[in-house]
Amino acid sequence: MADTAITVEEARKKYGGKAGGYALDGLDLTVARGTVHGVLGPNGAGKTTLVRILATLLRPDSGRVEVAGHDVVRQAYEVRLRIGLLGQHAAVDEELGGHQNLEMFGRLHHLGARHARVRADELLERFGLGDTGRKPVKQYSGGMRRRLDLAASLITDPEVLFLDEPTTGLDPRGRTEVWSAVRSLVGGGTTVLLTTQYLEEADQLADRISVVDAGRVIADGTADQLKALTGGDRIDVVLRDAGQLGAAVALLPVPKDDVCVDPDRRLLSAPVTDRMAALSGVVRALEEAGIEAEDIALRRPTLDEVFLHLTGDDHRVKEPA
């Protein structure tokens, strides 16, 4: 068996005839078998378009796209036998219980009645829904629903699973539940391609990440490699007085444009090369200038910063790590 589960070369897709822009604009992607690959991008980046093409629901205008060793256009049927899909808006029947839903999905996928029942039991157990299988889905929490969606996408034990924004709209608890469900898949050898807008999600789950913007991959690598792209460590300084932020920026030993300032949090953040020298230098410079700091810390960049940096909009600061 090949080591590659997904290959995308120069994929293009345009919606709405000549007037429309490219949703995919020469996208390249390679996913190794048995890994979790994160596709990270903002609204409209082309994530769902990519997933729909990979899942044979949409044809690319041009380019080569292969999933589980088969071409998605010429061998769509072969591809469909080997994949599972958790869409951005999943469809389970609200009135039915979790168990009934899974049984129904099993029958739709041509499992015999007994096999469908056994498979439903297995999957409910595996995703911590064993006790709630009889309850109508409309009484499920968001996290439970999403785990049921995930179970439904695994009915046929797919080689390759696509998850389109699996945790969008969930609270932190629901998100953690879905994350551990996804992690439990990976040991089984399933290849997972997951799209997300949450940098933390890609950081938590993905072996490798492709950052997508305007239909292209603008960066690719492990979370650590992507973080290294922004120039290594950062120093964060929280001042007592937001009025002194400007003066403090001028004291830092880096170009002014590299400093991120967040007045609401009285915070400034700058990339550093030599950690210790930077720390002692900043402490001394602030002291000499009579600027009082509430907190000074060295840290690794967050993926948020990597993303803002890559998409050319990095002069804001989000949650520090």
Ligand X SMILES: Nc1ncnc2c1ncn2[C@@H]1O[C@H](COP(=O)(O)OP(=O)(O)OP(=O)(O)O)[C@@H](O)[C@H]1O
Residues in contact with ligand X by CB under 6 A are: 15-16, 23, 41, 43-49, 88, 197
Residue closer to ligand X, measured from CB, 45 or 286: 45
Tokens of 304: 């948020």
- 100/197 with CB nearer ligand X: 197
Q: How far is the CB of 292 from ligand X (least distance, A)?
A: 42
* CB nearer ligand X, residue 20 or residue 253: 20
Q: Encoding tokens for residue 87?
A: 């869409």
Residue nearer to Mg ion on the CB measure, 100 or 168: 168
Decide which of Mg ion, ligand X, none touches 145; Cβ closer than 5 to 8 Å per partner kind.
Answer: none
d(CA 264, CA 199) in angstroms, rounded, equals: 22
Smallest gap, in angstroms, from Cβ of residue 15 to ligand X? 3
Closest distance of CB 314 from Mg ion, Å: 24
Nearest to 286 by CA among 233, 234, 249: 249
Cα–Cα distance for residue pair 169/51, rounded to 1 Å = 19
Distance CA 94, CA 98 (A): 9
Output the smallest distance, CB 164 to Mg ion, in A. 6
Residue 43 interface partner, choices Mg ion, ligand X, none, CB cut-off 5-8 Å depending on type: ligand X
Q: Name the residues that contact Mg ion, by CB under 5 A.
A: 47-48
Alpha carbon distances (Å) from 311 to 39, 304, 305, 306, 308: 15, 11, 10, 9, 5
In the bound state, the residue with its beta carbon closest to Mg ion is 48
* Angle between the N-to-C axes of helices 113-126 and 98-108, in degrees from 0 to 180, rounded to the nearest 10: 130
What is the rounded radius of gyration, in angstroms, for the C-alpha atoms of the chain?
23
Burial of 250 (0-12, 13-18, 19+ CB in 10 A): exposed
- If the CB atoms of residues 164 and 305 are measured against Mg ion, the closer one turns out to be 164
Nearest approach in angstroms of CB 42 to ligand X is 7
How far from each other are the two terminal CA atoms of the chain, in whole angstroms?
40
**Residue 15 contact partner, candidates ligand X, Mg ion, none, CB within 5 to 8 A by sort of partner:** ligand X
Complex with ligand X: residue 43 or 312, whichever CB lies closer? 43
Beta carbon of residue 319, minimum distance to ligand X (angstroms, whole number): 20
